[in-house]
Amino acid sequence: MKPAVVIFAETYETRLKRPVLEVVSEARRIADALGGTVHAVLVGVRDEALASQLAQQGADYVHVFGQPALAAYATEPYARAVAKVATDTDATAVLFSMTALGKDLAPRVAAKLDAGLVSDCISLSVSEGRLTARRAMYSGKALATCEWTGGVHVASLRPSVFRLGATDPNRGAETLTEGIDDTSARAKVVGREARDASTVELTEAQIVVSGGRGLKGPEHFHLIDELAAAMGAAVGASRAVVDSGWKEHPFQVGQTGKTVSPAVYVACAISGAIQHLAGMSSSKVIVAINKDPEAPIFKVANYGIVGDVFEVLPQLTKAAEAYFSGKD
Amino acid sequence: MKIIICVKQVPDTETQIRLGADGKSITEEAVKWIVSPYDEFAIEEGLQIREARDGEVIVVSLGPERAQSAIRTCLAMGADSGVHLLDAAFDDLDAMGTARCLAAAIRQLEPYDLVLTGQQGVGGDNSQIPGLLAELLDLPQVTMAVKVGLGDDSANVEREVEGARERWQTSLPAVISAQKGLNAPRYASLKGIMKAKKKPLDVKDAAALGLDPDVLLPKTRIVKLELPPPRPAVKMIEGDPGQQSAELLRLLHEEAKVI
């Protein structure tokens, strides 16, 4: 049997999440290096369109667990499903995205397989049939290279870091109808309140605009919202802003908040404490706007503007509106 | 209600990281050690549950000698007793090995109602222990809890996911991991610190946990630890706000090619 790379295809309201497509792309790259195949695991949905999307992104097989009892996510049965495919295919690697769901599911699957898990990887490489992974430690102050000592390589991949491969509309995959005997769950979702669907998800955004304490009060945070809207960006906040109650915790970027890796991170009136840098230092390009030229944020920034956010942000919003409307 | 809380001693986030001579670890000198901030949310939640419903709160931590001070901190906050998992054989554990030791210690505390942990230990940031523990103990899990409401044999838990807040229901006992937002952890009082010195603290090694060292062999290991590459020097944009804005967008488009 060819080496199998298994990926968990997380869905959100019958769509594949973008981080899943990144994981499939990376799985394809690894499978090619191993001379192997990519197996996607789709649980709780029976949708040909999703299977063909996974195929076009690089999957060779799509294992569909379409049992109605699996419609809503629950850790235990989903872990059984992924572990079943990993066992049946004698998987070399099992990959997840480090989303809230991936963070919940991956360790449970690793324990079932008695396998090692490397979490929140920022790169993977293959040498002599084995994987090594790189990941950040100590709030991004160090980078670790990790290896597995044997067994299945289980890894979760940081969203927005791995390159999305090209899709091939002519690529097909074999769809396999799967099932698990025990669909029971002792812990399950009984309700769900979606936040405003028009806002861009922080961890998946290509551009993030974040505000800090230099905005002086919640009544000024609209300056951040407006710039974010003009740039099609997600809104983030520093810990100081969240701890002061100006913004809720889901907006927090940093050590005790979210880790983001957008193409552009715009830090507005954020001094750049290490707790904040921990959550955004893997961004591709960092822009800092701060009135204090000595603020530590300028040490990690690619572009800096020393200035008053109350003067700069309205101008930047106007310029961004013109730029992005002209672009479309 | 018997609540077991797993805590980890970690370097303070502000601590400067120096690489060790082996190129795989950090030097411990001059590191300030703290209880992982997420674990403090777990402790606080356990204490609030005990205050509302009676029972006991037991803290379990695996680590070298220094980890005892983290357990004492939790006892000073109000936990009733501690278990320190200490053995030279624990020095090179990965997350799975750590979870096996914690699971063995927790089994020795049966019967219990709830296992609480932080949603990740800062520093390593693996976020694996809650799920590994739940599987090893054959318990349900709810991770990254921002609200916990306990019934007698079930719990309602809320967690934040991308774009939504989910409400979960789980039977007990269960493993629940704490996320920021769950509560505001208390500080240890002077009286608490004095009382903590007299609270029971068991020390257990691999033999006491009934663990064969072979099952603790790491499945993953760090082969190299390095400082991140320095970022290029910042390019400061001059001019009035209008000029700075136009120049920034031009640079993002033409030079960085990201918009």
Residue B41 lies in a domain: yes
Kindly identify which residue of chain B lies nearest to residue A148, measuring between CA atoms.
Answer: B220
Average pLDDT of span A233-251 = 95
The parent domain of residue B138 ranges over 2-216
What is the rounded CA–CA span in Å between residue A196 and residue A200?
Answer: 9
pLDDT of residue A111: 98
Q: Looking at the predicted structure, is the pLDDT value of residue A196 above 90?
A: no
Percent of chain B with pLDDT over 70: 100
What total of structural domains would you count in chain B?
Answer: 2
Q: What is the pLDDT confidence band of residue A13, given thresholds at 50, 70 and 90?
A: confident
Q: Looking at the predicted structure, is the pLDDT value of residue A44 above 90?
A: yes
Over residues A104-154, the pLDDT tens digits come to 999 999 999 999 999 999 999 999 889 999 999 998 899 999 999 999 999
Residue B77 lies in a domain: yes
Q: Select from B141, B174, B218 the Cβ nearest to the Cβ of A149.
A: B218
Contact status of A197 with chain B (Cβ, < 8 Å): yes
Residue B154 lies in a domain: yes
Contact status of B6 with chain A (Cβ, < 8 Å): no
Number of other residues whose CB lies within 10 A of the CB of residue B102: 26
- β-pairing, A153-157 vs A142-148, is unpaired
Q: What is the pLDDT confidence band of residue B231, given thresholds at 50, 70 and 90?
A: confident
Contact status of A148 with chain B (Cβ, < 8 Å): yes
What is the rounded CA–CA span in Å between residue A154 and residue A34?
Answer: 16
B44 & B151 share domain: yes
Average pLDDT of span A66-94 = 97
Contact status of B181 with chain A (Cβ, < 8 Å): yes
Contact status of A122 with chain B (Cβ, < 8 Å): no
| Closest C-alpha to B142, from A185, A175, A5 | A185
What is the rounded CA–CA span in Å between residue A11 and residue A243?
Answer: 32
What average pLDDT is seen over chain A?
95
B240 & B151 share domain: no
Q: Angle B67-77/B37-53 helices, nearest 10 degrees?
A: 40
B86 in Cβ contact with B201 (< 8 Å) = no
Contact B258 A141 (CB under 8 A): no
Contact A101 B159 (CB under 8 A): no
Number of other residues whose CB lies within 10 A of the CB of residue A4: 24
B212 & B243 share domain: no
Percent of chain A with pLDDT over 70: 99
Q: Looking at the predicted structure, is the pLDDT value of residue A328 above 60?
A: no
Q: Looking at the predicted structure, is the pLDDT value of residue A225 above 60?
A: yes
A326 chain-B contacts, CB cut-off 8 A: none
What is the torsion angle, in degrees rounded to the nearest 10, for the CA atoms of residue A101, residue A56, residue A262 and residue A251?
-30
A47 in Cβ contact with A24 (< 8 Å) = no
pLDDT of residue A56: 97
- Please tell me what DSSP assigns to residue A258: B
Contact A12 B162 (CB under 8 A): yes
Residues, chain B: 259
| Closest C-alpha to A12, from B158, B163, B141, B131 | B163
Element (H, E) at A87: helix A75-88
The single-letter code of the amino acid at A224 is I
| Closest C-alpha to A74, from B142, B61, B81 | B142
Of A98-102, A290-294, B144-148, B226-230, the least confident: B226-230
B27 & B123 share domain: yes
If one compares A283 and B13, the residue with the highest pLDDT of the two is A283
Contact B135 A185 (CB under 8 A): no
B147 & B245 share domain: no
Contact A189 B231 (CB under 8 A): no
- β-pairing, B33-35 vs B9-11, is antiparallel
pLDDT of residue A174: 97
Percent of chain A with pLDDT over 90: 90
| Closest C-alpha to B85, from B212, B196, B207 | B207
Q: Looking at the predicted structure, is the pLDDT value of residue B93 above 60?
A: yes
Q: Select from A100, A191, A255 the Cβ nearest to the Cβ of B167.
A: A191
Q: What is the pLDDT confidence band of residue A199, given thresholds at 50, 70 and 90?
A: confident
Average pLDDT of span B64-78 = 98
A291 chain-B contacts, CB cut-off 8 A: none
Kindly identify which residue of chain A lies nearest to residue B25, measuring between CA atoms.
Answer: A144
Contact A107 B132 (CB under 8 A): yes
Q: Looking at the predicted structure, is the pLDDT value of residue A305 above 60?
A: yes
A236 in Cβ contact with A259 (< 8 Å) = no
B84 in Cβ contact with B202 (< 8 Å) = yes
A269 in Cβ contact with A290 (< 8 Å) = yes
Q: Which of A99, A120, A189 to mutate to test the interface with B (most CBs of B within 10 A)?
A: A189
Q: Select from B13, B127, B164 the Cβ nearest to the Cβ of A255.
A: B13
Residue B221 lies in a domain: no
B243 & B188 share domain: no
pLDDT of residue A91: 98
Residue B191 lies in a domain: yes
Residue B97 lies in a domain: yes
B29 & B144 share domain: yes
What is the rounded CA–CA span in Å between residue B104 and residue A205?
Answer: 42
CATH, residue B170: 3.40.50.620
B193 & B256 share domain: no
Residue B222 lies in a domain: no
B163 & B76 share domain: yes
B201 & B248 share domain: no
ipTM of the complex: 0.96
pLDDT of residue A272: 96
B53 & B179 share domain: yes
What is the rounded CA–CA span in Å between residue A186 and residue B141?
Answer: 8
Element (H, E) at B34: strand B33-35
Over residues A252-265, the pLDDT tens digits come to 999 889 999 999 99
Residue B206 lies in a domain: yes
pTM (two decimals): 0.94
Over residues B183-209, the pLDDT tens digits come to 999 999 999 999 999 999 999 999 999
Q: Select from A142, A301, A314 the Cβ nearest to the Cβ of B17.
A: A142
Maximum distance among all Cα pairs of chain A, rounded to whole angstroms: 63
Number of other residues whose CB lies within 10 A of the CB of residue A265: 29
What is the rounded CA–CA span in Å between residue A134 and residue A231?
Answer: 31
Measured in angstroms, the CA of A184 and the nearest CA of chain B are apart by 11
What average pLDDT is seen over chain B?
96
Q: Looking at the predicted structure, is the pLDDT value of residue B211 above 80?
A: yes
B253 & B137 share domain: no
